[in-house]
Amino acid sequence: MPKKILVLYYSQTGQLKDIVNNIAKPFEQLKDSYTVTYYEIKMEKDFAFPWKSEVFYDTFPETYRQIPRAILPPPEEVLNQKFDLILFGYQVWFLTPSIPIISFLKSAYAAQIMCDTPVITISATRNMWMLSQEKLKIHLQRLQAKLVGNIALVDRHDNYTSVITILNWMQTGNKEQKKPFPKAGVSDAEIASADKYGTIIEKYVSQDNYNGLQNELVKNGAVEIRPFLIKVETVGNKLFTVFSGIILKKPEKRKFWVGVYKFYLMAAIWVISPIVLIIYNITTPIFWWKRKKQIQYYQGL
């Protein structure tokens, strides 16, 4: 009997959809051995793309605090099957899994679909996904899903170039940028070649044994860790906790505090972050071993 693969995802821009579809290609090509089912999470009231700037920043507190919204029920073909593997594609918003992903994970459907099932997480982000993955892992553990692999594709350009291109993409809908800036997001070449990860994964699925899968994915470029960004994410989460708490506790002043948060975010990216980077580079020899252990941890599961 063919093994059952579920491709479960939410993709606002379409980039992640292309990636998970390409990863699933090797399974599609082996029709005698696998059946592939696709399930895109749908919100009752979806988020428009491109974003309006004011809507984008106003989404921050509920996203960061992981407050769910209503989703449409999954199709019966998804609810009434037991899958052998789930390819789980998710976006990161504000250092946290996106509201549609959290809404699914906190729904009754998630346990029914994911319990006692191997899961490979797949993300496509600007460059900061590490602590978001940690938050996601908590939900998978609660749902008794089995995390067996992780693929985290990122914009490979420098931090500041990617800020400019991603914000323009989010607010205009144009992934192509005006010169001299590169195309936003994960590169076309990397998206097109994502089927190589599916080929790797298929070997392990066919044997019902995932030992060694993550190491092989990492060796083939599935996870890039920039240790400096771990520090940025850690500091960002602490301050995001403060800002989201203030905004949610003062609804009558929400617009004002969202504006303050936006100002802080831009200052953090363009003023504070370069200073932190200088200090980070100076202290690298002192903390070299600690940072090596961080890389190993976040490349793993």
Kindly state the percentage of the chain with pLDDT values over 90. 76
Report residue 16's pLDDT band, with 50, 70 and 90 as the boundaries: very high
Residue 85: its pLDDT value, please? 98
Distance between CA atoms of residues 113 and 37, nearest Å: 12
Peptide bond into 180 cis (omega under 30): yes
- Quote the tokens at residue 121: 């997480």
242 CA to centre of own chain: 23
Classify residue 156 by its DSSP letter. -
User: How far apart are the two ends of the chain, measured CA to CA in Å?
Assistant: 30
Beta-bridge partner residues of 43:
71
Query: Mean of the per-residue pLDDT values for the chain?
Result: 93
> What's the rounded mean pLDDT across residues 10-16?
95
Q: What angle do CA 221, 219, 192 make, to 5 degrees?
A: 35
Asked whether the predicted pLDDT for residue 147 surpasses 90, the reply is: yes
- Give the tens place of pLDDT for each residue, 209-229: 999 999 999 999 999 888 888
Asked whether the predicted pLDDT for residue 296 surpasses 80, the reply is: yes
- Give the tens place of pLDDT for each residue, 270-283: 877 777 777 777 77
Cβ contact 220:272 at 8 Å: no
Report residue 243's pLDDT band, with 50, 70 and 90 as the boundaries: very high
> What's the rounded mean pLDDT across residues 159-168?
88
User: Beta strands of 114-237 (E only): which ranges?
Assistant: 118-125, 146-154
Q: Residues near 293 by Cβ (< 8 Å), separated by ≥ 6?
A: none
Cβ contact 190:208 at 8 Å: no
Residue 226: its pLDDT value, please? 85
- Quote the tokens at residue 272: 């504070």
Cβ contact 70:43 at 8 Å: yes
Name which residue leads in pLDDT, 213 or 171. Answer: 213
Q: How many CA atoms lie within 13 A of 47 on its CB side?
A: 27
- Quote the tokens at residue 182: 């590169």
- Give the tens place of pLDDT for each residue, 45-64: 999 999 998 999 999 999 99
Distance between CA atoms of residues 210 and 208, nearest Å: 7
CB burial of 237-249 (b: ≥16 within 10 Å; e: otherwise) equals: beebeebbebbee
